[in-house]
Structure 1
Amino acid sequence: MSTTPILQFGTSRFLQAHADLFVSDSLARGEALGPITVVQSSGEATRGRRLQALTAPEGFPVRIEGIEAGRPVQRIERVTSIRHGLSTATDWPEIVRIAAQEAEIILSNTSDAGWVPQREDDEPRFHQAMSYPAKLTQLLLARFRAEGRRLTIMPTELVARNGDKLRERVFELARPLAPGLADWIAESVIFANSLVDRIVSEPLEPAGAVAEPYALWAVEEQPGLVLPCQHAALTQVSDLNRIERMKLHILNLGHSYLVAGWLAEGGAGSPLVREKLADPAVRADLESLYAHEVLPVFAAAGYGDAADYVATTLDRFANPFLAHRLSDIAQNHAEKLHRRIGAFLHWGAALGVTVPQPRLLRVLATAEQAP
């Protein structure tokens, strides 16, 4: 079995069109640590076919469709970075060996349920019903006992400060497992905070995905951090909060603003974001909102690149191939309005911004009536 310095938990279509594709591109240029072993951690036997397809020698396709530099693009890229596919339900000893001896990075994009603490998490030995953080702690225990070298843990789940939160849970689990384990983790394991962004609209069977051209993998700088590859979409940043604010208060804010307009009209049908943007009046209103009510706040905060992010966001919204429905975005709409618009208005006020923001205030006022 060939050496794989990247151990990946998760087989999602997002990872296929994001990290796996980036590593594949970088391997072809000699700019990646090496290939990937993918771990399917839920133990679902039905996903065995996907594991096999992920490791096919010819790779699997990622179909890129959308707007790039203002022009429609459609292309197919093949991912050949995955060498092995394993399951925690059947291959745990081999996963332990790779984690203890080979891995330089363990990355993950597991389901929300995978992070929920389980009763079995407190068991001294591996149990398939453990949460992902508990399974990871078992692997770190094996590496500790093998006197393994430094390791980077890189979660990509959409959790704010995901590395910090994962480290906190791992420490809780590690302290009672073995004397010295928690100290070794503190000294030898780096937990990276990261933010990922790419709309992956649908899977391809048995493996592969359809994704937009835009992609971002932002990782917060810290001493000793190891990255899986060098890629244009992968960047180290000193302040991850900056990128999180732009995503939340430009892209996500725009989504919720469009949803609010649709609901105000009665919420009929199931329109796509791109269909709304095709209406000149809707697009002009959104562009005006960004220019007059949103960008002044970012300017006051010193975000000189916010205008470029707005332009990219409008391209993403107008993607002629993406099936992104307002009815999907409308889920938990009231909560989203408070996080995306209410928090933005508070931020602007704290910065001393006094420009009129009537549309944002009007939309926020509907939060109590939102579905």
Structure 2
Amino acid sequence: MSETLTITRPDDWHLHLRDGAMLAAVLPETARHFARAIIMPNLVPPVVTGAQAAAYRDRILAALPEGMAFQPLMTLYLTEDTDPEDVAAAAASGLVRAVKLYPAGATTNSASGVSDFDRVRGVLERMAEIGLPLCVHGEVTAADIDIFDRESVFIDRVLDPIRRATPGLRVVMEHITTAGAVDYVRAGGADLGATITTHHLVINRNHILVGGIHPHYYCLPVAKRETHRLALVAAATSGENRFFLGTDSAPHTDALKENACGCAGCFTATNTLSILAEVFEREGALDRLEGFVSRHGPAFYRLPENPDTITLTRGAPVQYPTGIETGDGPVTVFDPGFDLHWRVAP
């Protein structure tokens, strides 16, 4: 077994950085290993215009520690009032790389999302014309739909009709969680890709509920049955270029996670590459890790691969911190529940 693995420097195609004190604390955890990231726009208020995206990018770069290199790839938050031409102008400038669709009420800070999908048809058609990807939080929010079925119902009722009505629209199904979503992506053609998170490769719904409620494993979309986790692992390690890493690393303070109505999200930026190397090694697929974290994402987003590399080394278990301190309060680092033997070399 090789004790070192050198790969093209990876990117994160789904990342939450928040703002202010939280941004300053969590940004180095990503920039340490990742060259670029698709930055989620669900701030309060959300990032809905090109001007707001430019201002947010500037705040991110201002928070980047000296000596670190990192490129934030900005997104716009799709609302029913989004201007198609503002989207097109932001994309033409190179500032915005995607538009994010949140069904209203689906997850953290999604209240401004879309309820009437007919009202965003003009934006989607303009995006199809210019080749700008739509990043989708793929869950319905109707009260009569079981939370574990929200993804599959979204595919049937929302996503597939949107794609059929908008030929050429390039779509990223973010943080897929079910075998059905894996199958849909595989059958979806060149205009459809999917991100898979680190934590959904590790946990199933038992991790959240067995032996008590474990709030730091609670995320949206919620983790599903073990059969679905295994389908995600098989997809991520398959070498198929339609699947790539989007951590959905989502920091919340412990006070917001550990209460009567805790926030959804797992903070994985700190130890993601160690966890992924462990998962891929277990599947006999270390040779495919580079594709998943470094190559498939740039190919879908029509960007060049990063010119530099990182090296992972295998040895004694890595001791990561259990949490990080932020100006807003402590944030717990995701615990995979098993030893991590791979670390990124300095």
TM-score band, normalised by the shorter chain?
A: 0.3 to 0.5
Q: Which structure has the greater CA radius of gyration? A: 1
Length-normalised TM-score, structure 1: 0.32
Length-normalised TM-score, structure 2: 0.33
* Larger relative contact order (CA 8 Å, sep ≥ 6): 2
